[in-house]
């Protein structure tokens, strides 16, 4: 699933190519997860100039000149591809064709992506824009595993299964730790790790895949390495499940319970 680093790069590359262009047509081929009808979406945004694209948590919001916006959540396997005039991408859910002939195909073999007309902005802080000492306050009230707290979208938004493993590894905190048992000084470390891990990942993606709008390799990750048995620094990777999420961690991460 694309997370903050991926989506920030996608946003930048989408902006460069289609912001300022008129949306000539939107075709929705698979509509089973639509929260609005295809006709309502077409009426709202067809013929409108795209003026902005923003990331909100794990969503991208396409803003149009008339004030309407289209929200896109790629879910686990959603992918975007450019096409010119005719789209031949498999498993297409929706097509956006712009006035200059550039098309954006949104695909998903699981048919799980979510398109929303005029999505509401979340009141939950983005992982990269948390208020000062925010985690210190909210974690004290939560006894669930820290991995669950950081990924369920109720405390922070934008972090998924891959990067939460990286963040907790960087902070040297076990994913099984109870959130309200983590000491203040370690929460400070965790807050810094969130910022550093996500920032460094975005820098890596931008350097190696500067034009991408699709999720790429994650061989640079330290511990979330499903096909490997050791971290990049040589530690043994342990594997478990937390709330049905495959979790990768090491024995060096401290457990607070």
| Residue 35 near residue 114, CB atoms below 8 Å | yes
Which residues are paired to 254 by β-bridges? 173
Domain shared by 107 and 144, yes or no: no
**Structure tokens of 99?**
């006035």
| Residue 92 near residue 52, CB atoms below 8 Å | no
pLDDT band at 217 (very low <50, low <70, confident <90, very high): confident
Tally of structural domains, the chain: 2
Report the CATH number that the domain containing residue 82 is assigned in CATH.
3.20.190.10
Domain shared by 140 and 245, yes or no: yes
Report the CATH number that the domain containing residue 180 is assigned in CATH.
1.10.8.50
Domain assignment present for 59: yes
Instruction: Report pLDDT digits (tens) over 63-93.
Output: 999 999 999 999 999 999 999 988 999 999 9
Which residue range(s) make up the domain with 54? 4-117
């Amino acid at each position: 699933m694309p997370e903050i680093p991926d989506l920030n790069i996608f946003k930048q590359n989408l902006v460069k190519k289609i912001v300022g262009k008129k949306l000539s047509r939107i075709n929705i081929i698979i509509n089973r997860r639509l929260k609005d009808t295809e006709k309502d979406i077409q009426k709202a945004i067809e013929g409108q100039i795209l003026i902005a694209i923003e990331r909100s948590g794990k969503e991208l919001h396409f803003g149009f000149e008339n004030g309407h916006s289209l929200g896109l959540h790629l879910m686990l396997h959603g992918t975007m591809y450019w096409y010119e005039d005719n789209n031949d991408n498999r498993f297409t859910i929706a097509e956006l064709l712009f006035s200059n002939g550039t098309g954006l195909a949104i695909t998903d073999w699981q048919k799980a992506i979510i398109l929303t007309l005029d999505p509401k902005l979340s009141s939950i802080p983005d992982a990269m824009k948390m208020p000062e000492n925010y985690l210190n306050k909210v974690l004290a009230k939560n006894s669930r595993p820290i991995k669950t707290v950081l990924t369920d979208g109720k405390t922070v938004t934008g972090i998924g299964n891959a990067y939460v493993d990286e963040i907790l590894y960087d902070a040297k905190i076990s994913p099984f730790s109870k959130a309200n048992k983590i000491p203040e000084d370690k929460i400070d470390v965790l807050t810094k790790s969130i910022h550093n891990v996500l920032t460094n990942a975005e820098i890596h993606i931008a350097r190696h895949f500067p034009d991408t709008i699709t999720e790429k390799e994650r061989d640079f990750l330290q511990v979330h390495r499903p096909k490997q048995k050791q971290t990049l620094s040589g530690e043994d990777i342990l594997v478990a499940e937390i709330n049905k999420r495959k979790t990768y961690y090491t024995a060096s991460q401290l457990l607070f319970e």
